[in-house]
């Protein structure tokens, strides 16, 4: 009995240590979430203004032609998948990877019909284990990534589309709604049909020409959308981790309470048994 009680007490101590760790991780994730939210919100005005300018130029210039604005027959597709470098974030990575795999399995019959760009170690390892070719990857992003951190993969994904390496490009990431809700999204980034069809027109003067300006702005705009998705993904990661650690803390507390109840019952049973033995011994001497 004493050995069993020592084991229960050891388990209670272990669960208390785990609860302290998960509680600390929850607090750290909450602090990082606030900063990630602020960064994502700060990036939106820039991307919104760039979209307004690009849309105005595209709508105000008759017959404008640019590969990023033109729909073509889809023979090959590009996917840029945004995941995290670390786990312990609930279903954050699993939901995104499940989403992109469902898309690939549904739309493609062979690996030659798609290419993959990936942000995050979890996504990279996932695709490598399945022998899926990764064109370019980015790992080890900071908690507050800058555009320079993802410039190479963003530029590669956009320039490959411009050069005709594939005919459409999709962003796959978690869209941040709140700390408890992150929605996995598959959004078509290229071609930029919503920009081409926008009818807002402003009075701009171009040098050397509207086409020349669009040739510079459109790739930058697409790269900005990728960066915004990365910031959104970071906010989603910390929200998912905070929620997961909160659930882990609650579960640890529940387990501690259950083990404490078992321990108290075992202790009470041991005391009762000792009293019974003492009484029985006293009676035997009479």
Architecture of domain 31-241: 3-Layer(aba) Sandwich (3.40)
Between 69-73, 244-248, 282-286, the lowest mean confidence (pLDDT) is in: 282-286
Question: Is the model's pLDDT at 243 over the cut of 90?
Answer: yes
Question: For 115-171, what is each residue's pLDDT tens digit?
Answer: 999 999 999 999 999 999 899 999 999 999 999 999 999 999 999 998 999 999 999
CB 134 within 8 A of CB 220: no
77-82 and 168-178 beta bridge pairing: parallel
Question: What percentage of residues in the chain have a pLDDT greater than 70?
Answer: 91
Nearest residue to 25 (alpha-carbon basis) of 83, 120, 89, 82: 89
Mean pLDDT of all residues in 232-248: 94
Mean pLDDT of all residues in 41-70: 76
pTM of the model: 0.85
Mean pLDDT of all residues in 103-120: 94
Residue count of the chain, please give it: 286
Distance CA 169, CA 115 (A): 9
Mean pLDDT of all residues in 27-42: 91
Does 244 sit behind a cis peptide bond, omega within 30 degrees of 0 on the bond before it?
no
Where do the structural domains in the chain lie, given as residue ranges? 2-27+244-285, 31-241
Between 68 and 198, the higher pLDDT residue:
68
Domain 2-27+244-285 has CATH 1.10.287.80: yes
Distance CA 199, CA 58 (A): 9
Distance CA 254, CA 92 (A): 24
């Amino acid at each position: 009995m004493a050995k069993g009680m020592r084991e229960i007490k050891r388990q209670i101590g272990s669960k208390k240590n785990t609860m302290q760790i998960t509680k600390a991780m929850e607090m750290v994730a909450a602090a990082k979430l606030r900063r990630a939210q602020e960064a994502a919100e700060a990036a939106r005005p820039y991307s919104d203004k760039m979209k307004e300018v690009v849309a105005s130029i595209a709508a105000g210039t008759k017959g404008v032609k640019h590969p990023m604005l033109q729909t073509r027959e889809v023979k090959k597709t590009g996917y840029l998948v945004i995941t995290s470098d670390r786990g312990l974030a609930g279903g954050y990575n699993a939901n995104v990877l499940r989403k992109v795999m469902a898309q690939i399995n549904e739309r493609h019959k062979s690996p030659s019909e798609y290419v993959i760009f990936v942000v995050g170690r979890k996504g990279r390892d996932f695709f490598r284990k399945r022998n899926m070719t990764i064109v370019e990857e980015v790992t080890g992003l900071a908690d507050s990534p800058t555009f320079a951190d993802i410039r190479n993969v963003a530029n590669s994904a956009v320039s490959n589309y411009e050069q005709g390496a594939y005919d459409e490009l999709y962003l796959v990431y978690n869209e941040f709604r709140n700390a408890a809700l992150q929605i996995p999204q598959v959004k078509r980034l290229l071609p930029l049909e919503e920009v081409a069809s926008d009818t807002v027109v402003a009075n701009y003067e171009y040098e050397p020409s509207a086409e020349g300006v669009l040739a510079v702005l459109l790739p930058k705009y697409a790269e900005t959308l990728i960066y915004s998705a990365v910031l959104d993904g970071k906010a989603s990661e910390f929200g998912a981790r905070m929620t997961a650690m909160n659930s882990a803390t609650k579960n640890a507390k529940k387990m501690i309470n259950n083990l404490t109840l078992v321990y108290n019952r075992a202790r009470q049973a041991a005391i009762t048994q000792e009293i019974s033995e003492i009484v029985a011994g006293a009676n035997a001497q009479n």
